[in-house]
Each structure stands twice: as structure tokens, then as C-alpha cells.
């Protein structure tokens, strides 16, 4: 044994065909395979979307789809209309409402965490905020339907059980942690020296926060808004549960509306036949939604690159 291990000399470092070496050689291939799974799945999804959407546009003209103001896909016969605008305005109404809730509160939370909170408190609050981001959206949906809506109806008695307002508020609450957390990251990475310079000139804490730190972190902050809103656009459960199923061209938040996502759920759950125009309309709406969120995500990337601060 001793001589085999110690005396070979020349052959001591020669590569041997061991299981260990074979395994090591396989590793990059396995890892690549895993990476490919998600890429191929994405490509597959986009491919399916495109194929079914193209097929949908053979039944319904493209122009009619994007300019039509009536969406009655689940009706029958001549009453059936595929004008996507009501679904888009429904989505935008909820998204705008969510933005009005989430942007001020999210930014204020970020300013508090980054500039005001004592170290100990920040170390407790930040993880809690990130846990909030992990609550299943169906829970938020029930919260909207069973708590926020009844509460709002105390003040707006004529408002229906399903309304865009309640959904907007709760979607807004849902994306606050995301906006707060990402904005806080951006603000915390503003160098300490810049804050000190501002304090040394006699700035108050609020002036340092609003006139120095927020502008310096603006690219990251705006990117957090865009990412938050892109989640709001794609949000499904809250709007399905709380906003109703009434495709309507309106900007009145007290009315029942339907978003693109909520329509897709409703249609997919309903009694529709495979290959029918209604079936394919799910893909067409999905494609529209995909274009929206893709544009938002690209916008967020562009903003954070284009306006990145060099300190």
C-alpha cells in the first residue's frame, strides 16, 4: 500500500478516470440544463401566446380588438364583442389607484427606515417589511373583500360590493413593501459623506432626506415605483375577488370593473370550449398584459441604468 501511494513519482499527478472526475465533468452540463429549463419555458410560453393570439386575430380583427370599447366575450351570438379597452382601463384604474396608495407610503417608509430609524429598529422593521411581501395575494384579496370594502361602504353607502376602489387600495398595500424595501436599498447606498456635507451646512434631517438623499437615489427609487406598478398590473387574486367582473370603460373607482387578469381567470374557470374564439381571447388578453409588464420592466431597467448616480 505504502509503495503504491508514495513511490509512483511520474504518475502521481496524472488524471485518473475516477467517479469524482467524471462527476465534476458532468456538473457544468447539469447546471446549464437547469438554466435552460427556465429559459425554454419562457420561450415556450411566449411561443404559445403568440400562436394563440395570432389565431385569435383571424377571428377578430386586430384594430377592432385594440380600439373596441365593449368587452362581452362571454356573451353569445351577435352580442359578443371583443374590444379590449374596458379591460385595459380597468387594469389602469386599479394600477393608478394602487400607485396613489403605494408610492407616497412606500417612499415615506423608505425615508423613515433609511434616514430616521435608529439602527436597532431598522434591523427589526426591514425584515418584517420583506415578510409582508411574501403574504399570498389571495389573503390580500379576502382582506379587500371582507374588511376594506365594508369599511369603505360606511362612508360611501351607495358603492357596490365589488368596486375598483377597495381593490386599488389593497393592491397598493400589497406593493408598499416592495417599493419601500427597494427604495430603502437605493437610499442607503447614498454615501455617508454626502449626508455629512449637507448636515455640516446646517440642513435639517428632512432637508437632507428630501433635497439630498432622495435626489441622489432617484434612479433606484423610480425603478422601484415602476417594478411595483408592474406587479400591480399583473396582480390577479385581489382584483378577481374585490373589483368585480364587469368590463366597463370608466374611471370612477366606486364602480365594479374588470381587469385583464380577472377576465383571464373568469374565462379560464368558465364553461368555454377549447379552440373557440373566447378560448383564444384569453391568450390575446394575456399577450396584451405581457406587453404591458414587459414594457414596464424594460422601463425600470432603462431608468436605473440611464440615471445611475456616480458618486
Residues in contact with another protein by the rule CB under 8 A: 118-119, 191, 193-194, 196-204, 207, 211-212, 215-216, 309-311
Round to whole Å and give the CA distance between 70 and 85.
7
The 3-state DSSP class for residue 256 equals coil
The least CB distance from residue 304 to another protein, in Å, is: 15
Q: Considering beta carbons, is residue 101 or 198 the nearer one to another protein?
A: 198
Instruction: Name which of 75 and 199 has its Cβ closer to another protein.
Output: 199
Residue with Cβ nearer another protein (175 or 187): 187
Least distance to another protein from the beta carbon of 293, Å? 30
In the complex, the smallest distance separating the C-beta of residue 215 from another protein, rounded to whole angstroms, is: 7
Q: Which H/E stretch holds residue 271?
A: none
Residue nearer to another protein on the CB measure, 59 or 207: 207
Smallest separation (angstroms) from another protein to the CB of 207: 5
Q: Smaller CB distance to another protein: residue 173 or 208?
A: 208
Tell me the sheet residues that pair with 284: none
Closest approach, Cβ 196 to another protein, in A, equals: 6
Q: Which long-range contacts (CB under 8 A, 24 or more apart) does 226-229 make?
A: 226/296, 226/297, 226/299, 226/300, 226/303, 227/178, 227/182, 227/296, 227/297, 227/300, 228/99, 228/102, 228/103, 228/106, 228/175, 228/178, 228/179, 228/182, 229/95, 229/98, 229/99, 229/175, 229/296
Amino acid at each position: 500500500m505504502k509503495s503504491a501511494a508514495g513511490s509512483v513519482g511520474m504518475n502521481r499527478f496524472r488524471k485518473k478516470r475516477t467517479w469524482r472526475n467524471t462527476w465534476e465533468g458532468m456538473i457544468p452540463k447539469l447546471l446549464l440544463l437547469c438554466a435552460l429549463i427556465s429559459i425554454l419555458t419562457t420561450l415556450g410560453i411566449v411561443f404559445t401566446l403568440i400562436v394563440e393570439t395570432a389565431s385569435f386575430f383571424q377571428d377578430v380583427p386586430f384594430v377592432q380588438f385594440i380600439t373596441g370599447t365593449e368587452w362581452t366575450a362571454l356573451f353569445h351570438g351577435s352580442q359578443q364583442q371583443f374590444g379590449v379597452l374596458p379591460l385595459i382601463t380597468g387594469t389602469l384604474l386599479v394600477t393608478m389607484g394602487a400607485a396613489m396608495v403605494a408610492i407616497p407610503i412606500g417612499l415615506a417608509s423608505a425615508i423613515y427606515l433609511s434616514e430616521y430609524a435608529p439602527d436597532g429598529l431598522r434591523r427589526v422593521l426591514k425584515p418584517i417589511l420583506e415578510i409582508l411581501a411574501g403574504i399570498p395575494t389571495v389573503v390580500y384579496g379576502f382582506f379587500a373583500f371582507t374588511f376594506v370594502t365594508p369599511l369603505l361602504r360606511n362612508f360611501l353607502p351607495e358603492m357596490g360590493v365589488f368596486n375598483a376602489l377597495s381593490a386599488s387600495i389593497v393592491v397598493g398595500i400589497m406593493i408598499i413593501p416592495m417599493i419601500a424595501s427597494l427604495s430603502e436599498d437605493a437610499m442607503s447606498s447614498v454615501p455617508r459623506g454626502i449626508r455629512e456635507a449637507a448636515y455640516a451646512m446646517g440642513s435639517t434631517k428632512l432637508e437632507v432626506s428630501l433635497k439630498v438623499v432622495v435626489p441622489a437615489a432617484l434612479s433606484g427609487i423610480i425603478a422601484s415605483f415602476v417594478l411595483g406598478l408592474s406587479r400591480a398590473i399583473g396582480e390577479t387574486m385581489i382584483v378577481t375577488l374585490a373589483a368585480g367582473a364587469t368590463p366597463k370603460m370608466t374611471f370612477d373607482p366606486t364602480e365594479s370593473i374588470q381587469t385583464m387578469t380577472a377576465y383571464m381567470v373568469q374565462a379560464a374557470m368558465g364553461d368555454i370550449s377549447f379552440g373557440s374564439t373566447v378560448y383564444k381571447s384569453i391568450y390575446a388578453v394575456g399577450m396584451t398584459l405581457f406587453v404591458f409588464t414587459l414594457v414596464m420592466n424594460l422601463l425600470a431597467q432603462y431608468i436605473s441604468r440611464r440615471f445611475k448616480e456616480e458618486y
